Amino acid sequence: MANKREFPLEKTRNIGIMAHIDAGKTTTTERILYYTGKIHKIGETHEGDSQMDWM
C-alpha cells in the first residue's frame, strides 16, 4: 500500500544554496524558512540558535 503524501509531488521543490564561507547561507536559509511559515522565530548564526545550526 502506497503512503499518501501530505503535499502532492508536483508542489514539492528542492533548492540548493551554495556559496563560500561567511557568505550568508545560513542567514538566507533561516529567512526563507521564516517567511514561508515553516519556523516562527528567526534564529541568528552568531547566537547559535538558527535552525540550520542543528540540522
pLDDT digits (tens, 9 = 90+) for 22-41: 999 999 999 999 999 999 99
Q: Please list, in sequence order, all residues whose beta carbon lies within 8 angstroms of the beta carbon of residue 52, skipping any fewer than 6 positions away.
A: 25, 26, 29, 30
Confidence of residue 13 (pLDDT cuts 50, 70, 90): confident
Confidence of residue 12 (pLDDT cuts 50, 70, 90): confident
Mean pLDDT, range 6-34, rounded to an integer: 91
pTM of the model: 0.71
pLDDT above 80: residue 5: no
- As a whole number of angstroms, the distance between CA 40 and CA 50 comes to 11
